[in-house]
């Protein structure tokens, strides 16, 4: 039986390889058939000299909002058009899969929601999405507050250590936000306290190692790690597999514990959405309790791993860029602090407070507009079809064959001069205004009243011009978790401290993989606020 299953596995691996080769060939052969699409000739050096999304922006201005990017035999269609993005992400979502992204992430996330095939995705999305209901999010606000408070206490202690009034400290805030977001995702998703704000541990190191590898892979569009013996040829691959094992062992322990401690009383509370007296309000508790003991451990582990990776660096990046932008705009920093003082005062932070922190919410949205995480969404067409026409030189729309790899450039959409006034300026108030543009056929324009009750600007109010969490059925499942988390952390930080950049903004160099982050950290000077209302 063992030999038989090994032979079946080998056969499967061969079939996968053949599928990949045939996809590559389809792409190569289809290259010339993508209508009259303008072509950008990319050099391999474009992948290494500066983040690719900068170059994609230049080509967007030069070639229009749908063009083909050719790297030797490999080609991608780059979309920077809200109507075409809406078509791919929402109207015709199931004619696309995650293509290259699934190749990259499947070895890490298995059958987690992001790389999952359609059948698995449908089944798991139905189970996971209800876990993010409003009572869960309200319960999370306490975790967001407690974890932010830990970061604040750490800063206060460092300031006290300076022993004189008005002391300042210098810190890499990107690293601090990364620790904060890791602690929050650990507690919120699987009730595990990484405690990374204050300590190092093998699990924390393994999480960063895995993120590093995921990042590295996402800048390589050829899956070299699938080569036979990759684990033996590349030492980094060996380290990656060791890191993965450390995290998986940790997650397996947490899943076992959640199953062993399942109690009917908790199940009833969860069914009634009563989180007030639950000791463990995590998503894992919900997934185990609501589905009974029959949940497949391997699938659960993939789900948790996916959320750990998807929800950690992304949120840390939003906070990093929000502070970077505020530090360059002291009057906006002052306005934000005034609102925080007014709303929070001595009150405990609650959902009602967040409803009143409008300016902080808009700052988070504006940071996501200027620095979207990830800057590109990746899809592959499963069948040939005609994309809708949009604007700027391709009113007719283009035919694309099955197997076409697509980058939806969220960065281009968010900084499009055709969609936004002064697109590169930091102006949180822009989301309060309506706007229509006649020259884009089929685009409804911006209308804040169309946000479907959301506290934050979203793709609905902008008709797919603002896509911080994607859109359509595969939209981010943790969007509200992330938005509330960032709002709480930023508000509490601004309540206590004044923050300035240590050097010039131009010294902050960008690098990108799955997220846009800094090359050498976001070094800031921090001091206690003296100008409180």
Binding site for ligand HEM (CB under 6 A): 113-114, 125, 189, 306-307, 310-311, 314-315, 318, 373, 377, 468-470, 474, 476-478, 481-482
d(CA 244, CA 272): 36
Residues 6+ apart with CB under 8 A from 149: 492
CA angle 165-169-170, nearest 5°?
160
Residue nearer to ligand HEM on the CB measure, 68 or 380: 380
d(CA 358, CA 410): 24
Query: Omega before 374 cis (within 30°)?
Result: yes
Residue nearer to ligand HEM on the CB measure, 302 or 385: 302
**Rg of the Cα trace of the chain?**
23
Residue nearer to ligand HEM on the CB measure, 177 or 420: 177
- Residue in this structure with the two tokens 């705009």, named with its chain if needed: 329
Least gap, CB of 100 to ligand HEM (angstroms): 11
Q: Is residue 476 marked as binding?
A: yes
Distance of CA 293 to the CA centre of its chain: 31
First to last CA, the chain: 74
DSSP-H helix ranges across 328-439? 330-344, 351-356, 358-370, 410-414
Neighbours of 475 (CB within 10 A): 16
- DSSP states along 293-353: GGS-HHHHHHHHHHHHHHHHHHHHHHHHHHHHHHHT-HHHHHHHHHHHHHHHTTSPP-HHH
Q: Is 79 helix (H, G, I), strand (E, B) or coil?
A: strand
Residue nearer to ligand HEM on the CB measure, 125 or 262: 125
- Residue in this structure with the two tokens 């590559």, named with its chain if needed: 24
The structure tokens listed for 421 are 């006034």
Contact 211, 248 (CB under 8 A): no
d(CA 504, CA 451): 37
Residue nearer to ligand HEM on the CB measure, 309 or 343: 309
CB hemisphere CA count around 229 (13 angstroms): 2
Residue nearest to ligand HEM (CB): 478
Residue nearer to ligand HEM on the CB measure, 63 or 308: 308
d(CA 316, CA 295): 31
The answer to whether the Cα torsion of 501, 505, 511, 512 is positive or negative is: positive
Residue nearer to ligand HEM on the CB measure, 145 or 338: 145
Least gap, CB of 314 to ligand HEM (angstroms): 3
d(CA 175, CA 171): 8
Least gap, CB of 302 to ligand HEM (angstroms): 11
Neighbours of 317 (CB within 10 A): 26
Contact 466, 87 (CB under 8 A): no
Least gap, CB of 367 to ligand HEM (angstroms): 9
Q: Are strands 96-97 and 39-41 parallel, antiparallel or unpaired?
A: unpaired
Residue nearer to ligand HEM on the CB measure, 189 or 465: 189
Residue nearer to ligand HEM on the CB measure, 104 or 501: 104
Residue nearer to ligand HEM on the CB measure, 394 or 464: 464
**Binding-site residue ranges:** 476
**Binding-site residue ranges for heme:** 476
């Amino acid at each position: 039986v063992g030999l038989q299953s090994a032979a079946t596995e080998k056969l499967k691996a061969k079939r996968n390889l053949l599928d990949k080769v045939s996809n590559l060939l389809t792409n190569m052969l289809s290259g010339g058939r993508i209508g009259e699409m303008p072509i950008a000739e990319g050099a391999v050096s474009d992948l290494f000299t500066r983040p690719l999304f900068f170059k994609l922006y230049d080509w967007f201005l030069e070639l229009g909002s749908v063009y083909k990017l050719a790297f030797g035999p490999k080609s991608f269609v780059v979309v920077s058009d809200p109507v075409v993005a809406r078509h791919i992400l929402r109207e015709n979502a199931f004619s696309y899969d995650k293509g290259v992204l699934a190749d990259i992430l499947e070895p890490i996330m298995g059958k987690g929601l992001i790389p999952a095939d359609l059948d698995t995705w449908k089944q798991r999305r139905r189970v996971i999405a209800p876990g993010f209901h409003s009572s869960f999010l309200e319960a999370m606000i306490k975790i967001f507050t407690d974890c932010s408070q830990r970061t604040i206490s750490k800063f206060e202690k460092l300031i006290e250590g300076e022993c004189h009034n008005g002391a300042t400290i210098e810190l890499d805030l990107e690293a601090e936000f990364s620790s904060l977001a890791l602690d929050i995702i650990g507690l919120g998703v699987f009730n595990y306290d990484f405690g990374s704000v204050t300590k190092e541990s093998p699990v924390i190191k393994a999480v960063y190692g895995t993120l590093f590898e995921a990042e590295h892979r996402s800048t390589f569009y050829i899956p070299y790690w699938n080569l036979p013996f990759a684990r033996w040829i590349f030492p980094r691959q060996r380290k990656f597999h060791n890191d993965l094992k450390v995290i998986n062992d940790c997650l397996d322990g947490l899943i076992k514990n959640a199953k062993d401690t399942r109690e009917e009383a908790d199940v009833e509370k969860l069914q009634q959405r009563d989180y007030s007296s639950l000791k463990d309000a995590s998503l894992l508790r919900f997934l185990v309790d609501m589905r009974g003991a029959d949940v497949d451990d391997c699938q659960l582990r993939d789900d948790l791993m996916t959320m750990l990776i998807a929800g950690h660096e992304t949120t840390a990046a939003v906070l990093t860029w929000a502070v970077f932008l505020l530090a360059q705009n002291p009057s906006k920093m002052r306005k934000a602090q005034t609102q925080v003082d007014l709303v929070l005062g001595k009150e405990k932070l609650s959902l009602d407070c967040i409803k009143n922190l409008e300016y902080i919410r808009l700052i988070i949205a504006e940071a996501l507009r200027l620095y979207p995480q990830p800057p590109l969404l990746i899809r592959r067409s499963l069948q040939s079809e005609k994309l809708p026409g949009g604007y700027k030189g391709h009113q007719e729309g283009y035919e694309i064959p099955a197997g076409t790899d697509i980058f939806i450039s969220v960065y281009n959409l968010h900084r499009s001069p055709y969609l936004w006034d002064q697109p590169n300026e930091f102006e949180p108030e822009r989301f309060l205004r309506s706007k229509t543009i006649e020259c884009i056929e089929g685009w409804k324009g911006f209308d804040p009243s169309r946000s479907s009750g959301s506290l934050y600007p979203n793709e609905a109010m902008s008709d797919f011009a603002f896509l911080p969490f994607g859109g359509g059925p595969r939209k981010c499942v943790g969007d509200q978790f992330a938005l509330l988390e960032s709002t709480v952390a930023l508000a509490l930080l601004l309540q206590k401290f004044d923050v300035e950049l240590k050097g010039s903004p131009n010294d902050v160099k960008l690098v990108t993989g799955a997220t846009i982050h800094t090359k050498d950290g976001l070094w800031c000077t921090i001091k206690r606020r003296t100008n409180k209302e």
